[in-house]
Amino acid sequence: MFGYSIKSYRGDEMLQLMTRVKIISDLLNLGLPVGKEAYIIGHNRRIDIAYQYLIRVPALKKEFWVVANDIKPLSDSDTSLDYSSEVNKLLIDVALKTKQFDIIKNLKGTKED
């Protein structure tokens, strides 16, 4: 963002603020919602504290301090796949409510004879 990278105390690069991440584990038994998506909203650069990132989980409307091994950054391809699947689900819901079944057929790739 500003042309420089932030280094952690371990020497590797820290994730940038507002990076979309997925919670993959709960190493310190903090009650993290494993499998949920979150955003990094803060860093902790002190070496005497284990928690490295402050994340916000929009689904729960809560913030958690986590270690770096508990989260995995989502790539742009993960994001676009998530969005496209959500759009498909929404289109199917609209098609079912409006009884326009040709929308579902187009999404599924089947052709009408």
| pLDDT at res. 57 | 94
98 burial level (CB within 10 Å; 0-12, 13-18, 19+): exposed
* Whole-number Å distance between alpha carbons of 21 and 108: 30
Chain segment 12-71, per-residue pLDDT in tens: 677 888 888 999 999 888 899 998 999 999 988 887 888 889 999 998 999 999 998 999
What's the pLDDT tens digit per position in 57-110?
998 999 999 998 999 888 765 666 667 777 888 888 888 888 888 887 887 775
* pLDDT at residue number 102: 84
Six-digit token string for 12:
């590797």
At 80 the pLDDT is 61
pLDDT score, position 54: 94
Position 2 pLDDT exceeds 70: no
The pLDDT of residue 42 is 92
pLDDT of residue 58: 92
CA 38/CA 61 separation, integer angstroms: 10
CA dist., res. 64 & res. 102, Å (int):
44
